[in-house]
Amino acid sequence: MADTREICWQTPDLTIILTIEADQIVRLKEIKPVNEKTISPRSSLFSESSLPLTEIRLAGEGTDDTKSSKTLVCGAVTKRLKYRSHQESASDQQQFLEITSHDDVSKLTVTATLVAYTGTPVLRSFAKVQNEGDKNIILCQVTSLVVGGLTGGSREWFHDYVASSATNTWF
C-alpha cells in the first residue's frame, strides 16, 4: 500500500514491525527473533493478520461493527486512536519503544511501551492511558499488546510461543 508507513524496531534479539496505514491506526504486523524468516498467514479468510497495537473500551462505547465481546478486539475507541509519535531509547540491558496515539473524540492519549531485553528474545509491553479532556471517563478495558497471525507458521503453532501475563482481577 502506498499510504502505509512502517516502524521497524530492531533490537539485538528481536525485530518488531508496526504499520501505520492511511487511517493512522498503529498495527502490530510482526514480532520475530532476529534472523528468523517472516511467517505469512495461512488463512483463506484474510490476507493480513495485523491488529491494532492497543485496544481500548470505555463505558458506553462497545465495538464499532464487529461482534467481539470475547475476543477483546475491534473496540469503537480503538478505531479512533490515531498515531501521534514514537520514540526509541535504551539502557544497559533494555531497549524501549514508546508509541503514542490519540482519540480526538474521547480526548484519550495512549502510550504503548514495548521493552526488549538484551540476550533473550522476550518482549514486555504495557500501556498508559491519559485523559486530556475535561470529562470523566470510565475505562473498562485496555490491552497492552494485541498480536494476530500466530497460527500461520506451523500445524503445532501453539508450541512455538510462550505467552505470560501477570495475575490480575480484571478477568
Q: What is the pLDDT of residues 113-161, one digit of tens each?
A: 999 999 988 889 999 999 999 999 999 888 877 776 665 655 666 666 6
Whether residue 30 contacts residue 16, with contact meaning beta carbons closer than 8 Å, is answered with yes
Mean pLDDT of all residues in 5-34: 91
**Phi, psi values for residue 150, rounded to 5°:** -70, -20
3-class SS at 152? helix
Lowest mean pLDDT, pick from 33-37, 71-75, 84-88, 167-171:
167-171
What is the predicted pLDDT for the residue at 105?
A: 94
Each residue of 63-105: pLDDT tens digit?
666 555 555 666 788 889 999 999 999 999 999 999 999 999 9
What is the predicted pLDDT for the residue at 112?
A: 96
What is the predicted pLDDT for the residue at 159?
A: 66
Residue type, 97: L
Number of H helices, E strands in the chain: 0, 10
Q: Give the span between the Cα atoms of 25 and 2, in whole angstroms.
A: 15
What is the predicted pLDDT for the residue at 169?
A: 65
What is the predicted pLDDT for the residue at 62?
A: 63
Give exposure, 100-126, as e/b (b: 16+ Cβ within 10 Å).
bbbbeebebbbbbbbbbbeeebebebe
Rg, C-alpha atoms of the chain: 16
92 DSSP assignment = S
Mean pLDDT of all residues in 44-50: 64
**Phi, psi values for residue 152, rounded to 5°:** -80, -15
Whether residue 51 contacts residue 73, with contact meaning beta carbons closer than 8 Å, is answered with yes
What is the predicted pLDDT for the residue at 5?
A: 93
